[in-house]
Structure 1
């Protein structure tokens, strides 16, 4: 089976609301095509291992996708539409990230590793890394990992780069509490919206950390994205809630806790997707060398602006890089697609690094 055909088979399987069928396909393929030890954990993650139990390198992806557009679903809803034209595959999940997953499956099958090679496909990446967190909590701890999220065309056209860091995302809520009163006697109450706006002013004044990685500056960001409060035109509001989107960087966080020093304010973290930074330069350079050998372009070490499952692995102690076929602007779109040539490039890079690390040091 060709890489394009395997990708097409994976993409055609709906895995937006339920990843079970896609996980079944991956598990059955691995059992049929490899002699690896294959298991399915309680969350639905598919994990396969082969080679000697020394240093472990993992090829990591996920088989869930975001909700498809109607144009991406076959009549009846039993399959997603997959089309091949102009050297690309079109369909929900081609770029994010069943194409990379298929490339990793074939590389895992074909590689003859010097150490232990692991293939892992997680569930729930699109909804906060549910599968990755489940695996990490139960001892999934490879020393090294290549995560197949998009890194193509970051440094230039027709080049697949190696991302050595990415931002995280912390979403939080600021809730201001006040005392209701009739608006004609406003001084009898405490206006929760006024308290909330004081908290927003404090957020705007906070210093946001930044870090220099691979020649880039990853800058954190704080953005107030939602506000809700009040019950009627003539009532002093007793409650006002504000949502803050924070893009985090490896290392320090913005000191959002400072808003709680204001009267009537509570601050709650609703989601915290960790950033990633590969601190093992030898590993990053080895992946870069394998990537360079697999393509005509000259890949570079780069950074990504958004969170992936690499953040959960990195937080647990795994040295991670990101290398995958998706290009900026492809994931989650109604005409999502991936280059077949770049898929083959990724397959070859995955195979090379699987065979050359750790002996490449």
Structure 2
């Protein structure tokens, strides 16, 4: 039985309703069903479904088309559902990342029948897990025409400030060799875990760059995020593997980023585990500049990785913009202010209708 979503609810109340539906990554079916059912009730929208992703679009023959996108899933619940509201604050898993943004997008889809540009609304699954399961990536592979647009807004939490582009990210496995021996005769071996100390020292002393890209400053980072070694409590380990994550500015390609990591870790066996490109901010493009003018504020760099990179790969300029402090995303005390949700809805509505500070 499909649960009914009331898109006439104020955005903060709709945020709470969305959060209270189960939607941990891989378990978005009920929420996707509810979103699809709610959107199909609006005749100005054409609705498509792909797995647990829902796409709804206007088709008014406008000269331009924009995408408004958000993911339906959350990281696992940590005793922070159902939601609770205390004054102007809504507490609970997903309030920041990113049911506030999804609620805003759903209300815009339902209530703006005559936007200044045609709009495609994308609500997708599995953003919080490995890239191959990402619903937006799946749509880009199977129905790329659904994502054709002149500009996209990904409603990731940004505290209602435009965040341009995103850093790229890669992970490598760095192998430190040793020689096995009985720990009682340790001098017969060479301890690989001990030998990893020099590698960890390099990472500790590494000074990450701050890189200006199209007027925004992206802060890089190179960090050990995992270590594995040893086979038994009485064996000197002959192998230690350190997992290293590099967050790199969008001015670098994935290949350039990998070569940089290899140069920093010269002398070690470095194998690429996974990689995703960054996205330049593209705020010099007229359609992006018009969005910034419409919603106001001073754009900042998105230091994390987001799906704006997927739009960038499709040739669609995109920005991050939505309610919620990104530093509270995934936190046990995840919470968002009601006023910020309302502000985002008002500004997005003004932009889509051409009634904002500048029409696009």
With normalisation by structure 2, the TM-score equals 0.82
The 2-side partners of 1:194 and 1:266 are apart by: 18
2:75 aligned with 1:66: yes
Q: 2:338 matched to which residue of 1?
A: 340
- CA distance in structure 2 between the partners assigned to 1:118 and 1:14 by the alignment: 25
- Picking from 262, 265, 286, the partner of 1:257 is 262
Query: CA 1:354–1:128 in structure 2 vs 1: closer, same or farther (change >3 Å)?
Result: farther
Contact 2:262–2:270 (CA<8 Å) still a contact in 1? no
CA spacing shift, 1:261–1:83, aligned 2, 3 Å:
closer
Note the aligned Cα RMSD (angstroms).
2.9
Q: 1:33 to 1:8 in 2, by over 3 A?
A: farther
Tell me which residue corresponds to 2:4.
none
Distance 1:315 1:195, change over 3 A: farther
Choose the corresponding residue for 1:29, options 35, 38, 43: 38
Question: What CA distance in whole angstroms lies between the structure 2 residues aligned with 1:267 and 1:11?
Answer: 39
2:153 is aligned to 146
After superposition, residues 84-103 of structure 1 pair within 5 angstroms as: 84-103=85-104
**Deviation digits for residues 30-78 of structure 1 (CA, Å, limit 9, x no counterpart):** 1113431111113x111111132753210010110111122x34xxxxx
After superposition, give the CA deviation of every residue in 1:93-119 in whole Å (9 maximum; x if it has no partner).
122111111111111233323433100
Task: Look up the match of 1:295.
Answer: none
Aligned counterpart, 1:278:
281
Please name the residue that 2:47 is paired with.
Answer: 38
Partners of 1:311 and 1:199 lie apart in 2 by 31
Partner of 1:241: 241
Q: Name the residue aligned to 1:218.
A: 218
Count of matched residue positions in the alignment of Structure 1 and Structure 2:
336
- Contact (CA 8 Å) 1:206, 1:256: kept in 2 or not? no
The 3 A distance-change label for structure 1 pair 208 and 269 is farther
Match of residue 317 from structure 2: 319
Distance 2:339 2:204 in 1: 45
TM-score with structure 1 setting the length: 0.82
Give the alignment partner of residue 20 of structure 2, picking from 1, 5, 12: 12
Match of 2:122? 120
Compared with structure 1, are the counterparts of its residues 91 and 231 closer, same or farther at alpha carbon in structure 2 (3 Å cutoff)?
Answer: closer
Deviation at 1:167, TM superposition (A): 2.4
Distance, in Å, in 1 between the alignment partners of 2:238 and 2:224 is: 20
In structure 2, distance between residues paired with 1:183 and 1:335: 45
How much does 1:302 deviate? 1.1
